[in-house]
Every structure is written in structure tokens, then in C-alpha cells.
Amino acid sequence: APAPSSPAARNEAWVSAFPELLGPARYALEMYNHGRAAGTRAALGSVRGRVRRAGRGMVYSLKATLEEPPCNDPTVCQLPVAKKTLLCSFEVLNELGKHVLLRRNCRPVETKVTDDRNETLSSVLPLSNKAPLPQDFSVRMVSIFKEFVTKYNRTYETKEEAQWRMSVFASNVIRAQKIQALDRGTAQYGVTKFSDLTEEEFRTFYLNPLLKEKPGRKMRLAKAVPDP
Amino acid sequence: APHEWDWRNKGAVTKVKDQGMCGSCWAFSVTGNVEGQWFLKRGALLSLSEQELLDCDTVDKACLGGLPSNAYSAIKTLGGLETEDDYSYHGHLQTCSFSAKKARVYINDSVELTQNELKLAAWLAENGPISVAINAFGMQFYRRGISHPLRPLCSPWFIDHAVLLVGYGNRSDTPFWAIKNSWGSDWGEEGYYYLHRGSGACGVNTMASSAVV
């Protein structure tokens, strides 16, 4: 449906025009806003989508614009941020009434949604989008996640948190698969104790950005080991 | 260099430690190296304190990151390292409570090592475990085996994790470095990571260094 003029009107029109996209789009937005305080959450702009059957579920490939609110609170953002529009692509699996966010990719763009119908969005799920989604993907993911929670003794404060972590876990299972496919050694990648962390969280909590930023103190070069 | 080498079999490596949710890999890489150097020069394997470096190395940034070269200098300036037991790890910055009287090891200097992996292997076999820094691409999901990511994915220009080379060898003709990580023994192969050797994989040869006792 053509995008109505004002954001609020747009929201209304959007709902009536694409009822079957409402559930996955709302879930994707919920995941996107996870952990944000009221007043800092993004709002949904226009949505276009494509649906395909996958196993016993449906995979929604959504292309949506999100309206990030302006930010003038120095405790939230160091510099004032004007209102910003993002173009996001989401992939949401809906199986047996359960949503799983499989992929999220957002970047700032102009407000006009580009028309690139020919773009294949689901290049991630599974590794080649030709292979069919394994049967009961979501159900199996839930059981693997339960194993993970038990093995690493994870606890999550709220049901929403657990849901969010499960969607991160599912994305990470696919990321690990991709890394596995691209490794030229004998390494095996898969579920580890870090599988419920987003890449940003893992990088923030466990890695050391100074190593590439700063040259460090100059040291003298060690003598080479003498040839026996 | 000998065909293979492993300081873990020669008593020069303490058990795998866990940095927790803190970017203090640099401290664990350096204490691991100093533990090895002290063992080889003085014959005693002591588990040394990373928390002392977090708290008292004012040049580096504790959980926000640090550099081995700065840490060696801090150890020299402070006058040594206390043991893990005397100055135990908490995983976040605290007030420095180092006591020179309690320092059990000291270092005299630190050196930068060659970027030639063959010579690096020879140095390791001759002189002990080496502090290195790598690109940690894929390590979040690493479970076992010899990692060899494509070079563009694991560029030597994006070094973001410091670890300790404790040995090297071959597994069915695939050369590897045996690397002691600091994410606990329930990660990887009992806390160890195995990375392809001889191809500069993930920048493993770009920041090799050692203390000198």
C-alpha cells in the first residue's frame, strides 16, 4: 500500500494494509528496542515483506524503516542526535505461533525506501538460501537453547529477556555455521558459553580494543635463537 | 626449531584462568609469560597476579584493555608481581594494594620478538611461552580443532585479544600453535585454542613479546 503522509497515519494505514506482517514486524521491533528505556525506543515506519514457507513455519523477510527518536539527554547520548530514519531488513521465523528473529540488519538511510525488489534477503538462513530450512527449526532451536541454559547454568530475569536471549542464540547458531563453513582448518565451531551474547556484547566484555588502537611502548628486539 | 614443543609438559604453565566479563586478556597474557620465564630462570612455577596489573598499571585501562608492552614496564616500575593467592583476581578495577614486600617475582626487561613464525617457534622452544595478540574472529563459537579462518575475515590489522603461546606441533599434517586463553577451562579445548601456524593466521605473529628475567 502507498505510505500515507504522517507517521501516525502511516502506522494506522500500515496495519490495515498488511495484517499478516503485523506479528513478525512487531516482534522484530520489540527485539530491536530490547533494553531501551521508554522514550528512547524506535518506532516502525513503512514495512514491506515477503513470506515463504519453511518446514512447518513461515519465514518473513521484512524491509522496514524505523524512526529513531531524537536524543538530547546527555546521560543517554554524548552529543545531541537528531531524529534519524533507518532502513532495516529482518528475517523472522514464525513456527507454531512462536517468533524467532533470525537476522537483523539496519543502517541509516534517506527516508525514501529504495525499491530493490530483486534483492534476495535471506542469504543467511541457512547458508545458502536454496537449501530448505530444516524441519521443526524453531522447536529444535528451543531444545538446543534449553540444553545451553542447563549446561551453563544461565538465568534470565524476565521472560522477555529469555526470549531475547533465545533469539540471539539462534542467530549465533547460524553465525557459527557460517564461520565453520568458511574455516580452512580443522576447527569446529558451535555452541559455547558465549552463544547467548550478541557480537557487540562479546566484543565489549571479552575483547581488548586497545590492542589495535595504540602502538604500545617500543621494546628492543630479542636476539634470534642461535642456529644449533 | 624442534618438530614440536609443549611447555605444558615441562611444568612451565599454570592452569587455565578466567578473566570473566573484563577486557583484561593483556594481563593474563603477560602473567602467563612471566610465570614461564620465572620457571625457566628460577625453577619455580608460581601463579602470578593479574589483579595487581589491573589496579596498579596506571598506563593501561584495566577491564577496558591494555598492552603487554606497557604491562612489562609497569611490573618493572612497581618492583615485581605478587602471587595470585596474595593478590587475588576480582575482574574489575580496585584501588592498588600492591606491596613490594610481597612481590615474589621481578623482571629486568622485556623484548619484542620476530614476526617470522619459524624463528618464533625456535624462540619459544628455547626460551619459554610467548605473549602474543591475535584477531579473535570466530573465537566466540570455537569448540575444538585447528582454526584457520580466511585472511580477510581474520585480518592481522584488527588485533583484539592477547593470549599465550605455550607450544606448537602438527595434527595430521596441519601445523598449529597451542594457545592458552583466559576464558576458563570450559571454553575451547580445556581452555586452549589451536590456531594454524606458518600463515600469520589472525595476526598471531604481529605482537609477540616476552619479559626477561
Q: Tens digit of pLDDT for each residue in B105-152?
A: 999 999 999 999 999 999 999 999 999 999 999 999 999 999 999 999
Which residues 6+ apart lie within 8 Å of A139 measured at CB? Answer: A95, A96
Residues of B in contact with A194 (CB under 8 A): 140-141, 183, 187
Q: For the range B76-81, what are the long-range contacts, defined as Cβ-Cβ under 8 Å and sequence gap of 24 or more?
A: B76/B106, B76/B107, B76/B108, B76/B109, B76/B110, B78/B52, B78/B103, B79/B103, B79/B106, B80/B104, B80/B105, B80/B106, B80/B107, B81/B31, B81/B34, B81/B48, B81/B49, B81/B52, B81/B53, B81/B105, B81/B106
Q: Tens digit of pLDDT for each residue in A6-65?
A: 444 444 333 334 577 888 888 898 888 887 888 788 888 888 888 887 777 888 888 888
- The rounded Cα A209 to chain-centroid distance in angstroms is 22
Q: Which of A152, A192, A211 to mutate to probe the B interface, most B CBs <10 Å?
A: A211
Residue of chain A with shortest Cα separation from B154: A183
Label residue B19 exposed, middle or buried (CB < 10 Å: 0-12, 13-18, 19+).
buried
pLDDT band at A228 (very low <50, low <70, confident <90, very high): low
Q: Which of residues 51-110 of B touch A (CB under 8 A)?
A: 60-61, 64-70, 72-73, 109-110
Mark yes or no for CB contact A187/B142 under 8 Å. Answer: yes
Q: Which residues pair with A61 in a beta bridge?
A: A50, A91
Return d(Cα A104, Cα A18) in angstroms, integer: 20
ipTM at complex level: 0.94
A186 touches chain B (CB under 8 A): yes
B192 touches chain A (CB under 8 A): no
Q: Out of B148, B158, B184, whose CB is closest to A184?
A: B148
Q: Which residues of B are catalytic?
A: 25, 161, 181
Percent residues over pLDDT 90 in chain A: 29
